[in-house]
Each structure stands twice: as C-alpha cells, then as structure tokens.
Amino acid sequence: MQLDQYVHTLGRYLKGKFDNKVRKLTLNAAFTCPNRDGTLGKGGCTFCNVDSFSQQSATTPISEQLARGKKQLGNKAQQYLAYFQAYTSTYREVEYLKAQYQSALIEANIVGLCVGTRPDCVPDEVLQLLGSYVMQGYEVWLELGLQTSHDATLKRINRGHQFSAYQDAVNRAQKYGIKVCTHLILGLPGEGQTEVMQTLDKVLAEPLAGIKLHPLHIVEGSILAKAYRAGKVDVLDMDTYAQWAGDFIRHTPQEIIFHRVSATANKPMLIAPDWCQLRWPSVTAVCQNLAEHGGQGANTNSPLIIK
C-alpha cells in the first residue's frame, strides 16, 4: 500500500516537478533557539529535546554533512533539498544565514532549501534572502513549527508565541513567493480531535503550501518526559492516531503537500509511544484508514469540526 495513492506527498510533488527522485538531506548549522536562550523564553517547548532530531554534528562543515547524507541515501535519490532542521534555522544575523544557505546551494545536485524555524523568527530580511533563492529558481520551503492554532495550548506547551505570530509570518512569506510547510502535532496535552480539526480549519484559512503532521511523542530530556512519568500526560495509541490523521488528511484540499504524516524517534531517546520507533507501522495504519474512508480531499466539503 503506497501513501502516494491517497496523499499528495512531498515525494510525489518533487518527482512531478524535477522528474527525478529528490530527497531532503538534514543539516545542523550550529543554530540555537530563542525559546531556550532566554530571548523569547526559557526551557524550550515542553515536547522538545533537539538531540532527538539532529543527527548531524554542528561542527561538521555543511559540505561534509551533505556528502554523508548523499552516501547514506545511495541510489534512492538523484537530487536533494538541503534541510536546515536543527534548532531555529533562521535565528542568526542574515550574513551568517546567507553563508550557510549558500554553502549548501553550491554543492552538486542541490535543487533547493528547506529551513525549519519558529513563526516569530522570520523577519523580512530573512524572507527577502529566501525569496532571492526562489527568484533564482530554487525550490524553497519555510518550515514553520506551529503545532496547534490554540493559544491556550501554545501557552501550555511553552511555545513562547501565539497563533497571530504564525498568521503574520505566513502572509509575509507569501509576498516573497516562499512556500510554507506548517508543522502540527496531534495529541498535544489538553487537545482532542475537535481541537486538531479546528487547527486545520485555521491554518487552511491562511496561505499554505504544505503540512507536516506528527503524533506527540515523549523524548528523554524534554519537560514532558517528567510529566509523562508522573502520569500527567497521555499519548495516542496508533489506531487513534491513524484515525485522526486520516480525518485530517481527508479534510485537507488536494493541492496541499504533506511532507510527512507521522514521525519516528529512536530508543533510548524515545520514551513513548513505542509505535513511534518505526516509521512504517503508523504510515501503513494511516494508509489503511485512507483506503477505507477516502484519501486527501475526500471530505473537503464536509464540516471540519468533529463533535
């Protein structure tokens, strides 16, 4: 069962555009995070331990990180997007950003950039820089961590920004022709499926090109790890996740590109849920749900709010 049959995946979109297999190569360019260094907040988002997602060392030159990533992929791809993933990859002066992004774009077979950041860390100068790469014909994605549209939840998970910061960022990015991929988490503390669908409704009301979905998972070193061990936080079981993700995807118009519909983390970093250790079981469960109830866009005329 292929996810591409039911979902407008990033892989399908890139294959159509470049007529080649294009994959993301994850990079770590020694950024930090304003929600950790005290500028915008302290302690970070409650679910976050950046060690759980940055596999590359910040001291390794970008060219070497890219070479390593290409080698690991072997013949699974012919072209690549340089993905500045770790921490807040726009959180430095523009000259530093330019040097980092350029050092990736000059490498062989790099067709564009994905830049992961927070909605409150994309001043116009940064968007102007990214927009200049769009003008040069590169594929450019701004990956904005939002997680939820609900301000009460954003506060609960210590994001340090409100939904209005996201609305401001996506609308400014659009002016520079930059595609935005919004990261959302299903199963956040205090949220049920109704809140998830309300979030979808609100992000679809803004200019949006892509979505990255993942389940709440608890990792070592995060604030939620303590709460989980104290029995104060729950995680979704895989069947519930597949049903919520399936409903979410059915209510999403077909032109929106899904960068991911689930997520993984490795043990011993991953505490829960265990099913997040492997990618395919949850992706298969989501696929099955879509096969049974309809794929992306099937319910775009249905009411979004689940009662």
Where along the sequence are the contacts to ligand SF4 (CB under 6 A)?
A: 33, 35-36, 44-45, 48, 50, 87-88, 118, 145
Q: What is the distance between the alpha carbons of residues 144 and 160, in angstroms, rounded to a whole number? A: 14
148, two tokens? 């939820």
**Minimum distance, C-beta of residue 136 to ligand SF4, in the bound complex (Å):** 28
175, two tokens? 């002016």
CB-based burial of residue 9 (10 Å sphere; 0-12 exposed, 13-18 middle, 19+ buried)?
A: buried
**Minimum distance, C-beta of residue 27 to ligand SF4, in the bound complex (Å):** 14
**Minimum distance, C-beta of residue 204 to ligand SF4, in the bound complex (Å):** 23
Q: What is the distance between the alpha carbons of residues 76 and 283, in angstroms, rounded to a whole number? A: 19
Under a CB-based contact definition with an 8 Å cutoff, are residues 236 and 272 in contact?
A: no
Q: What is the distance between the alpha carbons of residues 287 and 1, in angstroms, rounded to a whole number? A: 7
**Minimum distance, C-beta of residue 216 to ligand SF4, in the bound complex (Å):** 12
**Minimum distance, C-beta of residue 126 to ligand SF4, in the bound complex (Å):** 15
Minimum CB distance to ligand SF4 smaller for 160 or for 273 = 160
In DSSP terms, 37 is beta-bridged to: 42
Minimum CB distance to ligand SF4 smaller for 110 or for 223 = 223
Minimum CB distance to ligand SF4 smaller for 49 or for 193 = 49
Note if the bond before 273 is cis, omega within 30 degrees. yes
**Minimum distance, C-beta of residue 165 to ligand SF4, in the bound complex (Å):** 12
CA–chain centroid gap for 292, Å, is 26
Report residue 24: phi and psi, to 5°: -85, 140
Minimum CB distance to ligand SF4 smaller for 11 or for 119 = 119
Q: Which residues contact 45 (CB under 8 A, 6 or more apart)?
A: 35, 145, 147, 157, 158, 159, 160
Minimum CB distance to ligand SF4 smaller for 118 or for 217 = 118
**Minimum distance, C-beta of residue 32 to ligand SF4, in the bound complex (Å):** 8
Minimum CB distance to ligand SF4 smaller for 86 or for 242 = 86
**Minimum distance, C-beta of residue 264 to ligand SF4, in the bound complex (Å):** 17
Under a CB-based contact definition with an 8 Å cutoff, are residues 187 and 205 in contact?
A: no
Minimum CB distance to ligand SF4 smaller for 88 or for 182 = 88
Residue 286 region by backbone torsions, left for phi larger than 0, else alpha for psi between -120 and 50, else beta: alpha
Q: By three-state DSSP, how is residue 115 classified? A: strand
Q: Exposed e or buried b for every residue in 123-146, given b needs 16+ CB within 10 A?
A: eeebbebbbebbeeebbbbbbbbb
Minimum CB distance to ligand SF4 smaller for 162 or for 243 = 162
